[in-house]
């Protein structure tokens, strides 16, 4: 049907037409009496797009209908000036009008390109699209621009408006995405929880309340109104301070660097403070880099502290290998008296030592460390090391470089030496201690090997080490309870764990033997249980002509007899005086302690001097005698090595309490005193103290060693002898 014009109703009316009716209802005003100029022909079907059809249907069926521009205009006019449409045509007219007019406005809004705020000079490789999009725009373009490449206009890109305005794109930190195939990357970028973003198609995201402590940053992101003074009071999280504290915790508690990257640890930090979790490193390499940077930043302070020392700087070092033996390091510690006269033990370096740990390689690493800390020849003191031969070679190499007498400066770790003596007392490994002829050495050595393996000490160590699973620990606890049931109430012991000996710590053997002596009944019951079990299993295997089941040798023995515990008690008693590592670390006590150890070993071995261990079958075994002699031999060897350095003798002579000790203890050894005094005089002449300082000494505690020392010092002592002849 042809469209009909409405007559002009007013000079100020701007409404010139109305959309044609769509349901074969005439749109001619009802007030016109004239018939149509020609008969109405069959209406031609009007083709509409699915979008317009859906829009028309949705708006026609809406209840109540949204007022259109036309309706608003009609309602604003006087009734006399408006000719109402025919009945029944309104719905079709309104629907068609909204679909044709309003729908077209929505389409234009969805397709229009908005480039407000864009700076094309900062996007030289991009231009506007050559044509508008045929599809409605994605929600992402509310927050950015759609551009194309200048030389490939089919490649479409999204420019984040916030990142463009704030020049984040210029700095190469994101905000520009290829959306030719999909807009997912751009949508993900806009959804990130950071300023100017945190967006979805429905608008800004509402921040969820995080578990744990809410950080100030999260409060701002959630849109909370935080007062300025409050924000200033709680803000400015100290990232560097937190990282430093974290690293010191790792180092002091000996945690692995990977601890900081574990999800559980990071979740714990996030719960306490999200800012703390964000400050943590994301890789082990980053942690290691920070640790080394912190170490280098602290080094000048260490150098300054060392330069202010009032004593020479003494050095100790030892090797350390990572688990699996992949990397080897040398820990280097400086020992000195600081400006306040306080003795300091300060770790200064941990150089990695690749390849063989030869003396030359060790010397090179130590020399590099000394140079880095400004420790020159005139300030270098003594080296305190263990008894490894490569340490002797290293000191010899350093002596050539720093021009000192290697034997004089090479001191030995006393605790390490006592460890070797303790091992000898327990296992007796010195052939010279057998007291046999050369022809009998091999036989005696075979006997000693068997005794170390199957004797009481060897059996006890095997039994202790067999207790290593939850089942065996529970079984041993059960036998402790059973043993307690046989004791009076006042003599019962609480259930204890077995103490296991460690080869590198001699006093762990003392602790193991002491605990074993206390729990002797429980150990006997535990060993008897396994021995009886193996007897039954062996008998069962024999009946079936099967191979005997595997079992430790001690399970096929007769267990630990009462007589077998006697050597353990001797060893326990013997080691009791040195059970605390480091108690006798002062150099002025080295000679008195060695004198005490040697005298006690001699006293222990003296009762066996006239015993014939081969007299008859019931004669005493010579194992304990052999071990005592081996321990004495080891102690005597290292005691003689003390003569190599005058420092030990000088330390005794210069100490107010011990100054007369050697004169009294060596009264019958004039040649010892002559040699020691000559070395001491040479040292005294060469040593030039930097500055006089007051010396402080503490009253020594009383124990067996102190009593022995006092007894020696009190021999024939007169008041005149207390005067220091070196003053």
Q: What is the pLDDT of residues 513-557, one digit of tens each?
A: 788 888 888 888 888 888 888 888 888 888 888 888 887 766 666
Rounded CA separation 17/8 (Å): 10
Question: Between vectors from CA 60 to CA 54 and to CA 66, what angle results, nearest 5°?
Answer: 105
Q: Choose the final residue of a domain: 345, 377, 412.
A: 412
Give the lowest-confidence range in 184-198, 249-263, 440-454.
440-454
Q: Does the pLDDT of residue 362 top 90, yes or no?
A: yes
Residues 103 and 136 in one domain: no
Which structural domain, as residue segments, surrounds residue 161? 120-204
Average pLDDT over residues 365-371: 94
Question: Would residue 696 count as lying in a domain?
Answer: no
The secondary structure element, H or E, covering residue 625 is: helix 623-641
pLDDT tier at 45, thresholds 50, 70, 90: low
Contact, 571 vs 405, CB < 8 A? no
93-130 per-position pLDDT tens digit? 444 444 444 444 444 555 567 888 899 999 999 999 98
Burial of residue 264 (CB within 10 Å: 0-12, 13-18, 19+) is exposed
Residues 92 and 139 in one domain: no
CA dihedral 388, 389, 395, 399 (to 10 degrees): 160
How many beta carbons lie within 10 A of that of residue 208, not counting itself? 8
Question: Would residue 658 count as lying in a domain?
Answer: no
Q: Does the pLDDT of residue 583 top 70, yes or no?
A: no
Rounded to 5 degrees, what are φ and ψ at 199? -120, 150
Which positions ≥6 away from 411 have C-beta within 8 Å? 382, 383, 384, 385, 587, 645, 647, 648
Question: How much is the pLDDT for 513?
Answer: 79
Residues 486 and 390 in one domain: no
Residues 439 and 563 in one domain: yes
Rounded CA separation 419/422 (Å): 5
Average pLDDT over residues 330-339: 92
The secondary structure element, H or E, covering residue 197 is: none
Residues 552 and 495 in one domain: yes
Rounded CA separation 587/581 (Å): 15
Contact, 381 vs 315, CB < 8 A? yes
Nearest to 593 by CA among 546, 630, 548, 639: 639
Q: Does the pLDDT of residue 59 top 50, yes or no?
A: no
Question: How much is the pLDDT for 198?
Answer: 85
Residues recorded for the chain: 727
Q: Does the pLDDT of residue 648 top 80, yes or no?
A: yes
Phi-psi region of 364 (alpha: psi -120 to 50; beta: other; left: phi over 0): alpha
Assign 59 to helix, strand or coil: helix
Residues 105 and 143 in one domain: no
Q: Does the pLDDT of residue 326 top 60, yes or no?
A: yes
Question: How much is the pLDDT for 713?
Answer: 64
pLDDT tier at 156, thresholds 50, 70, 90: very high
Assign 217 to helix, strand or coil: helix
Rounded CA separation 692/695 (Å): 9
Rounded CA separation 70/97 (Å): 9
Task: Report CA 137 to chain centroid distance, whole Å.
Answer: 51
Average pLDDT over residues 121-149: 89
- Give me the sign of the Cα torsion angle 230, 236, 242, 244: negative
Question: How much is the pLDDT for 101?
Answer: 44
Straight-line distance from the first to the last Cα atom of the chain, in angstroms, rounded to the nearest whole number: 135
Question: How much is the pLDDT for 508?
Answer: 77
Give the lowest-confidence range in 190-194, 215-219, 456-460, 649-653.
215-219
Question: Would residue 55 count as lying in a domain?
Answer: yes
Rounded CA separation 322/328 (Å): 6
Question: Would residue 294 count as lying in a domain?
Answer: no
Contact, 4 vs 17, CB < 8 A? no
pLDDT tier at 155, thresholds 50, 70, 90: very high
The secondary structure element, H or E, covering residue 427 is: helix 414-427
Q: Domain total for the chain?
A: 4
Question: Would residue 572 count as lying in a domain?
Answer: yes
Residues 526 and 630 in one domain: yes
Question: How much is the pLDDT for 93?
Answer: 44
Rounded to 5 degrees, what are φ and ψ at 335? -120, 125
Rounded CA separation 417/118 (Å): 80
Average pLDDT over residues 136-154: 90
Question: How much is the pLDDT for 120?
Answer: 93
62-76 per-position pLDDT tens digit? 444 455 545 444 444
Which positions ≥6 away from 209 have C-beta within 8 Å? 222
For residue 347, list its beta bridge partners. Answer: 333
Question: How much is the pLDDT for 100?
Answer: 42
- Give me the sign of the Cα torsion angle 96, 98, 100, 106: negative
Average pLDDT over residues 185-205: 86
Rounded CA separation 41/444 (Å): 135
Question: How much is the pLDDT for 395?
Answer: 94
- Kindly report the average pLDDT of the chain as a whole number: 74
pLDDT tier at 19, thresholds 50, 70, 90: very low
Rounded CA separation 646/399 (Å): 16
What percent of the chain is modeled with pLDDT above 70? 62
Question: How much is the pLDDT for 49?
Answer: 56
Residues 363 and 398 in one domain: yes
Question: Would residue 690 count as lying in a domain?
Answer: no
Cα separations in angstroms, 512 against 464, 474, 492:
9, 19, 20
Question: How much is the pLDDT for 349?
Answer: 92
Residues 407 and 488 in one domain: no
For residue 203, list its beta bridge partners. Answer: 200
Q: Choose the final residue of a domain: 59, 91, 111.
A: 111
Give the lowest-confidence range in 142-146, 238-242, 253-257, 604-608.
604-608
% helix / strand / coil in the chain, to the nearest 5? 50, 10, 40
Q: Choose the final residue of a domain: 93, 111, 129.
A: 111
Longest dimension (CA), the chain: 157
Strand pairing category for 410-412 and 380-385: parallel
Contact, 6 vs 29, CB < 8 A? yes
Q: Does the pLDDT of residue 567 top 80, yes or no?
A: no
Question: How much is the pLDDT for 437?
Answer: 44
Rounded CA separation 349/317 (Å): 10
How many beta carbons lie within 10 A of that of residue 62, not counting itself? 12
Question: Would residue 578 count as lying in a domain?
Answer: yes
Phi-psi region of 95 (alpha: psi -120 to 50; beta: other; left: phi over 0): alpha
Question: Would residue 254 count as lying in a domain?
Answer: no
Which positions ≥6 away from 134 have C-beta within 8 Å? 111
Assign 255 to helix, strand or coil: coil
159-190 per-position pLDDT tens digit? 999 999 998 888 888 899 999 999 999 999 99
pLDDT tier at 692, thresholds 50, 70, 90: low
Residues 454 and 573 in one domain: yes
Packed helices 565-575 and 623-641: angle between N→C axes, nearest 10 degrees: 20
Residues 94 and 147 in one domain: no
Q: Does the pLDDT of residue 228 top 80, yes or no?
A: no
Rounded CA separation 242/248 (Å): 10
Residues 596 and 449 in one domain: yes
Which positions ≥6 away from 326 have C-beta within 8 Å? none
Q: Is the peptide bond before 167 cis (omega within 30 degrees of 0)?
A: no
For residue 199, list its beta bridge partners. Answer: 204
């Amino acid at each position: 049907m042809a469209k009909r014009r409405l007559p002009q109703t007013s000079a100020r009316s701007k409404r010139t037409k109305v959309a044609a009716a769509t349901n074969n209802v005439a749109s001619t005003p009802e007030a016109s009496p004239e018939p149509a100029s020609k008969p109405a022909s069959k209406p031609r079907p009007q083709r509409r797009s699915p979008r317009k059809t859906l829009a028309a249907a949705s708006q026609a069926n809406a209840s109540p209908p949204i007022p259109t521009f036309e309706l608003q205009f009609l309602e604003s006019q006087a009734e006399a000036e408006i000719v109402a449409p025919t009945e029944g045509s309104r719905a079709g007219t309104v629907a068609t009008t909204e679909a044709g007019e309003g729908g077209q406005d929505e389409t234009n809004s969805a397709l229009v390109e908005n480039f407000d705020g864009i700076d094309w000079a900062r996007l030289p490789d991009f231009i506007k699209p050559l044509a508008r999009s045929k599809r409605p725009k994605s929600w992402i373009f509310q927050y950015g621009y759609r551009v194309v490449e200048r030389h490939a206009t089919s490649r479409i890109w999204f420019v984040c408006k916030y990142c463009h305005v704030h020049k984040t794109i210029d700095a190469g930190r994101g905000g520009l995405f290829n959306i030719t195939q999909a807009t997912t990357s751009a949508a993900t970028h806009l959804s990130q929880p950071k300023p100017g973003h945190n967006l979805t198609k429905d608008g800004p995201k509402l921040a969820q309340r995080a578990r744990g402590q809410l950080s100030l940053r999260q409060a701002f992101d959630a849109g909370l109104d935080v007062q300025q003074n409050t924000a200033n009071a709680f803000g400015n999280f100290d990232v560097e301070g937190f990282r430093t504290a974290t690293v010191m915790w790792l180092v002091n508690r000996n945690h692995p660097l990977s601890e900081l990257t574990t999800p559980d640890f990071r979740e714990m930090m996030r719960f306490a403070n999200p800012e703390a979790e964000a400050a943590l490193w994301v890789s082990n390499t980053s942690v290691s880099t920070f640790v080394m940077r912190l170490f280098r930043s602290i080094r000048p302070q260490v150098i300054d502290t060392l330069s202010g020392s009032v004593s020479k700087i003494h050095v100790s070092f030892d090797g350390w290998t990572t688990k699996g033996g992949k990397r080897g390091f040398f820990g280097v510690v400086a020992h000195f008296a600081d400006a306040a006269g306080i003795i300091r033990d300060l770790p200064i370096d941990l150089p990695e030592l690749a390849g063989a740990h030869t003396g030359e390689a060790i010397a090179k690493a130590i020399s590099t460390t000394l140079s880095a800390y400004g420790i020159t020849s005139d300030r270098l003191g003594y080296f305190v090391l263990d008894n490894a031969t490569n340490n002797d070679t290293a000191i010899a190499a350093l002596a050539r470089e720093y021009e000192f007498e290697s034997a004089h400066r090479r001191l030995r770790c006393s605790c390490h030496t006592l460890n070797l003596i303790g091992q000898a007392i327990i296992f007796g490994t010195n052939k010279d201690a057998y007291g046999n002829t050369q022809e009998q050495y091999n036989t005696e050595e075979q006997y000693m090997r068997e005794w170390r393996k199957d004797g009481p000490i060897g059996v006890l160590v095997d039994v202790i080490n067999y207790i290593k699973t939850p089942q065996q620990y529970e079984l041993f606890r059960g036998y402790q309870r059973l043993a307690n049931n046989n004791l009076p109430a006042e003599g019962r012991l609480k259930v204890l764990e077995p103490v296991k000996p460690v080869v590198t710590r001699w006093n762990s053997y003392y602790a193991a033997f002491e605990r074993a002596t206390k729990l002797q009944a429980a150990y006997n019951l535990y060993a008897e249980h396994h021995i009886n079990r193996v007897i039954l299993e062996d008998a069962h295997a024999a009946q079936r002509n099967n191979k005997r089941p595997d079992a430790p040798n001690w399970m096929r023995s007769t267990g630990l007899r009462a007589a077998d515990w006697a050597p353990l008690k001797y060893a326990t008693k013997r080691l009791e005086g040195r059970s605390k590592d480091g108690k006798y670390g002062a150099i002025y006590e080295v000679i008195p302690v060695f004198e005490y150890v040697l005298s006690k070993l001699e006293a222990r071995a003296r009762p066996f001097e006239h015993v014939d261990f081969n007299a008859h079958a019931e004669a005493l075994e010579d194992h304990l005698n052999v071990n005592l002699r081996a321990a004495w031999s080891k102690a005597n060897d290292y005691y003689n090595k003390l003569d190599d350095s005058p420092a030990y003798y000088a330390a005794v002579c210069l100490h107010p309490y011990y100054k007369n000790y050697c004169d009294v203890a060596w009264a019958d050894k004039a040649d010892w005193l002559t040699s020691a005094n000559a070395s001491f005089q040479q040292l005294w002449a060469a040593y030039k103290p930097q500055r006089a300082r007051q010396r402080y000494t503490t009253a020594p505690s009383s124990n067996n060693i102190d009593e022995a020392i006092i007894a020696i010092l009190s021999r024939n002592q007169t008041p005149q002898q207390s005067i220091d002849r070196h003053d």
